[in-house]
A and B are shown apart, each in its own frame.
Chain A
Amino acid sequence: MSDAEQQGEEGAGIIKKFMFVNRKAPYGTIYALEGLEVVLISAAFDQDVSLAFVDDGVYQLLKGQQTKGIESKNFSPAYRALEGYDIEKLYVEREALEARGLAEEDLLVDVQVMSSAELAELMAAQDVVIGF
């Protein structure tokens, strides 16, 4: 049994609502990338996982990221891989998109766009909120 599976077993029975809140743009800092690494690990624990994209966090989901020039890994494809890990609840704050002149079709993955009020209600209902 792998480490992750074993830990999943030990926590067996407890299912908590985890929300990972992304508020920072990619590449300028490491928070988006290392935040995603936590999300991927959380998939092994059978928890109720959702991701929220607020403020500059919405930039993480933009299509067309091309990182050859900055010689950094383009990790945006990982957002498309989330579905394969049963992480399908991706919430994007409508106000954040609009304030940045973005639309849902600019994003590289299927998301649920919602108002601040709707997102606030979801956040309040979480057990664990980790902001990146």
Chain B
Amino acid sequence: MLHIVNKSPYERNALESCLRLAQPGSALLLIEDGVYAATRGNAAEARLKDAMARLKVYALKADLEARGVAGRVMDGIELVDYGGFVDLACGQPNCQSWL
């Protein structure tokens, strides 16, 4: 499954719930305000690093750049553009947006 999270972990529990219910082998894509979870030193860093053992984490580059945090991304998170977002949706059998 491609899990899409678009809210910051400080604002919503969407990321937390997503990580609780994501199966190993899934992909997680952070978009919009969700990209803040991909930054070094944020509150979700440890939980996300933990999750990376069982799922692949991506972040939308355009959203990171818009927010001025593209230079702060944690190791192990792959940046994608909108084309890459489309590819991720194709590559997984289904997708779920955690709003």
Contact = CB atoms under 8 A, between A and B. Distances in A.
A–B touch (CB < 8 A): the answer is yes
B42 interface: no
A55 interface: yes
B23 A121 contact: yes
Interface in A100-132: 116, 119-121, 123-124, 126-129, 131-132
Given A54-B17, A55-B17, A21 B96 contact: yes
Contacts of B94: 124, 126-129
Nearest to B23: A124
Contact of B21 (A54, A128, A132): A54
**How many B residues touch the partner, as a band?**
10 to 19
A119 B13 CA distance: 17
**How many A residues touch the partner, as a band?**
10 to 19
A95 B19 CA distance: 14
A95 B13 CA distance: 14
Given A55-B13, A123-B1, A124-B26, A129 B21 contact: no
Interface string B30-73: 00000000000000000000000000000000000000000000
The residue among B20, B26, B97, B98 with the most chain A CB atoms within 10 A of its own CB is: B20
Given A54-B17, A55-B13, A55-B17, A120 B96 contact: no
B17 A129 contact: no
- The 10 tightest CB contacts between A and B, nearest first, are A129-B96, A120-B21, A124-B23, A116-B20, A120-B23, A124-B1, A131-B99, A55-B17, A131-B97, A116-B21
